Amino acid sequence: MKQVEIYTDGGCLGNPGPGGYGAILTFGEHRKELSGGYALTTNNRMELMACIKALEALKFPCKVTITSDSKYVVDSMTKGWAKRWRANNWKRNSKDKAENPDLWAILLDLAEQHTVDFVWVKGHDGHTENERCDQLAKEAASANALEKDGGYDG
């Protein structure tokens, strides 16, 4: 399996508000940057979307390391919370619904097509690729004519 490094970030101008995601994929000397934005969404949805769009860009199963500054994403994946929410019909516990089940379902399905490790990095702390992803996300959120986030119901 090819080893692909993925770096992601997402955010909003206000939360909720216009949002964007940025992702960088690297394989050897190859590098690809992805970004996109939505008119009204949340920070967490954009963090998830960055991971989803990056994994969707892979054309065959790979060994992947996703580096993110989102504890929400990294902890939910590494600690098995997202899989448990799915198994419990998108419930975090007996009374609380899991947020963003539409995106978690996609991310879990994509992650199962690859061998994926999630790694947390502190945001805004000088990590070159994380800073670039943050810039891509902000630029995307600031763009004109942003599309609607069909899964956001705020």
Residues taking part in catalysis: 9-10, 47, 69, 124, 134
Q: 148 vs 18, 91, 120, 141, 143, CA distance in Å? A: 10, 26, 29, 12, 13
Q: Got the DSSP string for 100-150?
A: -HHHHHHHHHHHHTSEEEEEE--TTSS-HHHHHHHHHHHHHHT-SSPBP-T
C-alpha span between 14 and 98 (Å, rounded) = 22
